């Protein structure tokens, strides 16, 4: 069954331990130009996860700090994987959307396709690759939680079956008044493996909102499914027209000669 | 038949300049292939697709649409009066596609891996369709050119190429029909990124129709330029007839646009007065509405009228593709992008190479004086 992670943003203190764990487990260099924690935190070819700091007003009008951990959301129907023309991005049945470098051509269509702007590119390399969170797929395959999840000192994350996490999240936000009544990732573009609950509207924390519930691959599919019919039908029409007009021209020439 | 012996290539000051630009392009291209994209281009994580995709590929493919337009009119519908432009238009189209492939090759990061989609089928991707169709179509066009090539070189193969032409022609129309629309279809998945004036479930059809009507427009431009350079005048009535066919398709495009804008309820964005709205208006008025007026009025009875028609329509399609790649995406991208001098030099150099090769082929093969050729 598909795994997922539930993130409770009310518990995060912004320590950034998760971003360090990600670097260590995945053997990634620190990015001098882009920090992993703070208000200048930015995903990059070297940063698979970052923690954004936001100063916002809560329900009572008080100014508070909130932190938003950003990484690939591992969509249930990933736009990047459907956009990749060489199958370099694939969704596994465990949940992670994995990148296979040896298949990648470097067209960067996945970057255009992703509604969350997650895939990044190694612009400084001669043979650059796409770079994004893999949800520690090798750990998940062994039944372990992703590196970032396992090190959190605050208990921000819960790792498990997505379906069960969703039920749990619904129970939490129903019980406790401080939460906004919405689970980010439940339905966004068809649902994601990572889900968030929060006491501050997601829009104020830099989340992309208004994405709708339609999985993005649907749009391409609705167009592409006509391709075989158009190819064959158009071929038949053209062949017919070719012979018809050729014959018509021959007849009109013959008529002219006789007349 | 090309009767001259030996190969000729006239040298003029303009051609010397073009050779210089082409040389710079080749140099920058080699540097780019050896060092990656970061040093040569201004592309970044917010702007993964820039000038090379926007101009060299999306615009290049559209402007090369004259080939399949001509193939349909002349070789499938057998409108023999349009024969004088057939070979010229199809040559331009072939060169256009070869340059598109060159542009694509320079733009992909793992360029030695370009063949990968031939074996690793990402068939859910619109780009997969684009990739296959452009590869196959370019191959077909090279084979089609074989008929002309073997008039001079390898004459014993000529009859074989001639016999294969009808099949090649029809396959050579199916492919562009599919991929011209799928170039627009690429943006279907960017539903939350492309500005609503351009994003629509109909965008594949807008790309298809515009690639079709830009065909005669490019022929008007090209035959005027070639006419001056080679003293080869295509009869006005031929160009006007072609332009009118384009005109009808522009009317269809306009009606479909109006329907689409109303259907999605975005008319307020057209007149919002912002950059997106204004550029959209410019594209529609100068690139579609004014040319429709020109081609169906007396203005299209003169060469200059047809030349202006051609320039406006081609310019409108270029602007449309640029709007989709840049203007329409800028609102959601967050970052900024302006092509570097090296990106410009490669794009300009590729066009220069195209012009030089066109001149060489026209001077050495039977392209322009081909009115008496009877169709295969």
Whether the CB-CB separation of B247 and B291 falls below 8 Å is answered with: yes
Closest chain B residue to the Cα of A105, Cα to Cα: B110
**pLDDT > 80? residue B375:** no
- CATH number assigned to the domain comprising residue A189: 3.30.70.20
Contact A216 B191 (CB under 8 A): yes
Mean pLDDT of B366-376: 58
Q: pLDDT tens for residues B4-26?
A: 568 888 889 999 999 999 999 99
Instruction: Report CA B162 to chain centroid distance, whole Å.
Output: 26
Contact B113 A234 (CB under 8 A): no
| A244/A120 same-domain check | no
Q: Which residue has the tokens 């691959």?
A: A217
Whether the CB-CB separation of B234 and B240 falls below 8 Å is answered with: no
Q: Which residue has the tokens 């092509």?
A: B339
| A180/A240 same-domain check | no
- Domain around B348: 13-375
| A114/A147 same-domain check | yes
Q: Which residues of chain A have pLDDT under 50?
A: none
Select the residue from B127, B183, B196, B205 to test the A interface by mutation, using most A Cβ atoms within 10 A.
B127
- Residue B76, domain member (yes or no): yes
Q: Provide the pLDDT for residue B334.
A: 81
| A209/A236 same-domain check | no
Three-point CA angle A130, A132, A134, nearest 5°: 120
Two structure tokens written together for A143: 């039944």
Residues in chain B closer than 8 A to A105 (CB atoms): 108-110, 113-114, 116-117
How many angstroms separate the CA atoms of B189 and B206, rounded?
16
Q: pLDDT tens for residues B118-154?
A: 999 999 999 999 999 999 999 999 999 999 999 989 8
Q: CB distance from A38 to chain B under 8 Å? A: no
Select the residue from B42, B80, B109 to test the A interface by mutation, using most A Cβ atoms within 10 A.
B109
For chain B, give the percent of residues with pLDDT over 70. Answer: 97
Higher pLDDT, B355 or A258: B355
How many angstroms separate the CA atoms of A173 and A28, rounded?
36
**pLDDT > 50? residue B328:** yes
Q: CB distance from A108 to chain B under 8 Å? A: yes
Q: Provide the pLDDT for residue B270.
A: 96
**pLDDT > 60? residue B200:** yes
| A145/A240 same-domain check | no
Closest chain B residue to the Cα of A125, Cα to Cα: B36
| A172/A155 same-domain check | yes
Average pLDDT, chain B: 91
- Residue B5, domain member (yes or no): no
Instruction: Report CA B147 to chain centroid distance, whole Å.
Output: 22
Q: What is the DSSP letter of A3?
A: E
How many angstroms separate the CA atoms of A121 and A108, rounded?
8
Mean pLDDT of B286-313: 95
- CATH number assigned to the domain comprising residue B42: 1.20.1630.10
Q: Provide the pLDDT for residue B376.
A: 33
| A217/A248 same-domain check | no
| A234/A155 same-domain check | no
**pLDDT > 70? residue B372:** no
| A192/A120 same-domain check | yes
Two structure tokens written together for A56: 């916002």
Q: CB distance from A252 to chain B under 8 Å? A: no
| A108/A231 same-domain check | no
Coil, strand or helix at B275: helix
Select the residue from A33, A238, A247, A251 to test the B interface by mutation, using most B Cβ atoms within 10 A.
A238
Domain count, chain A: 2
Q: Provide the pLDDT for residue A60.
A: 87
- Residue B113, domain member (yes or no): yes
| A87/A200 same-domain check | yes
List the single residue in B80, B121, B193 with the smallest CB-CB distance to A87.
B121
- Domain around A245: 226-258
Q: Please name which of A30, A96, A42 lies closest in space to residue A68, comparing C-alpha atoms.
A: A42
Q: Is the pTM of this model over 0.90?
A: yes
Q: Provide the pLDDT for residue B89.
A: 86
- Residue B8, domain member (yes or no): no
| A26/A45 same-domain check | yes
Residues in chain B closer than 8 A to A80 (CB atoms): none
Q: Provide the pLDDT for residue B5.
A: 64
- Residue B90, domain member (yes or no): yes
Domain count, chain B: 1
- Residue B215, domain member (yes or no): yes
Residues in chain B closer than 8 A to A235 (CB atoms): 170-171, 174
Coil, strand or helix at A4: strand
Whether the CB-CB separation of B202 and B256 falls below 8 Å is answered with: yes
Mean pLDDT of B262-282: 96
């Amino acid at each position: 069954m598909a795994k997922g992670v539930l993130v409770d943003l009310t518990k995060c203190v912004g320590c950034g331990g998760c971003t360090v764990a990600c670097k260590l487990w995945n053997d990634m260099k620190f990015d001098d130009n882009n920090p992993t924690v703070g208000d200048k935190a930015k995903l990059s070819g070297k940063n698979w996860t970052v923690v954004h700091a936001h100063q916002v007003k809560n329900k009572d009008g008080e100014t508070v700090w909130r932190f938003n951990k950003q990484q690939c959301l591992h969509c249930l129907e990933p736009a990047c994987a459907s956009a990749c023309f060489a199958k370099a991005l694939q969704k596994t049945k465990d949940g992670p959307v994995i990148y296979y470098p040896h298949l990648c051509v470097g067209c960067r269509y996945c970057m255009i396709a992703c509604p969350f702007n997650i895939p990044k590119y190694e612009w400084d390399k001669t043979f650059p690759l796409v770079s994004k969170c893999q949800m520690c797929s090798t750990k998940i395959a062994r039944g372990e939680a992703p590196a970032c999840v396992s090190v959190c000192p605050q208990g921000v994350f819960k790792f498990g079956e997505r379906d069960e996490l969703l039920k749990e999240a619904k129970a939490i936000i129903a019980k406790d008044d401080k939460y906004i009544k919405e689970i980010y990732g439940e339905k966004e573009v068809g649902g994601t493996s990572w889900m968030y609950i929060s006491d501050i509207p997601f829009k104020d924390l830099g989340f992309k909102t208004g994405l709708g519930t339609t999985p993005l691959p649907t749009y391409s599919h609705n167009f592409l499914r006509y391709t075989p019919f158009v190819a064959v039908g158009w071929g038949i029409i053209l062949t017919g027209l070719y012979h018809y007009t050729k014959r018509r021209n021959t007849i009109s020439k013959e008529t002219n000669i006789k007349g | 038949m090309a009767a001259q012996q030996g190969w000729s290539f006239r040298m003029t000051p303009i051609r010397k300049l073009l050779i210089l630009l082409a040389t710079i392009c080749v140099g920058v291209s080699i540097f780019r292939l050896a060092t990656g994209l970061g040093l040569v281009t201004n592309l970044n994580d917010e702007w993964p697709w820039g000038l090379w995709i926007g101009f060299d590929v999306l615009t290049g493919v559209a402007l090369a649409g004259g080939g399949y337009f001509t193939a349909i009119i002349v070789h499938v519908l057998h409108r023999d009066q349009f024969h004088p432009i057939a070979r010229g238009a199809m040559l331009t189209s072939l060169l256009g596609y070869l340059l598109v492939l060159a542009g694509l090759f320079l733009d992909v990061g793992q360029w030695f891996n370009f063949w990968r989609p031939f074996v690793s089928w990402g068939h859910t991707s619109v780009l997969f369709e684009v990739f296959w169709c452009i590869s196959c179509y370019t191959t077909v066009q090279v084979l089609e050119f074989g008929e002309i090539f073997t008039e001079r070189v390898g004459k014993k193969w000529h009859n074989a190429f001639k016999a294969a032409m009808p099949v090649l022609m029809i396959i050579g129309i199916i492919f562009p029909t599919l991929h011209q629309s799928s170039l627009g279809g690429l943006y279907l998945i960017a539903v939350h990124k492309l500005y609503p004036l351009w994003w629509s479930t109909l965008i594949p059809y807008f790309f298809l129709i515009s690639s079709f009507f830009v065909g005669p427009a490019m022929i008007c431009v090209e035959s005027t330029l070639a006419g001056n350079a080679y003293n080869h005048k295509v009869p006005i009535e031929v160009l006007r007839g072609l332009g009118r066919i384009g005109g009808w398709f522009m009317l269809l495009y306009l009606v479909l646009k109006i329907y689409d804008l109303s259907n999605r309820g975005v008319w307020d964005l057209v007149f919002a007065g912002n950059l997106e709205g204004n550029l959209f208006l410019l594209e529609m008025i100068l690139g579609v509405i004014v040319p429709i007026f020109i081609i169906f009025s007396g203005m299209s009875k003169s060469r200059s009228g047809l030349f202006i028609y051609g320039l406006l329509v081609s310019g409108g399609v270029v602007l449309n593709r640029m709007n989709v790649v840049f203007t329409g995406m800028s609102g959601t991208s967050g970052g900024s992008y302006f092509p570097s001098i090296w990106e410009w030099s490669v794009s300009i150099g590729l066009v220069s190479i195209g012009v030089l090769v066109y001149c060489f082929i026209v001077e050495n093969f039977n392209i322009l004086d081909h009115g008496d050729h009877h169709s295969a």
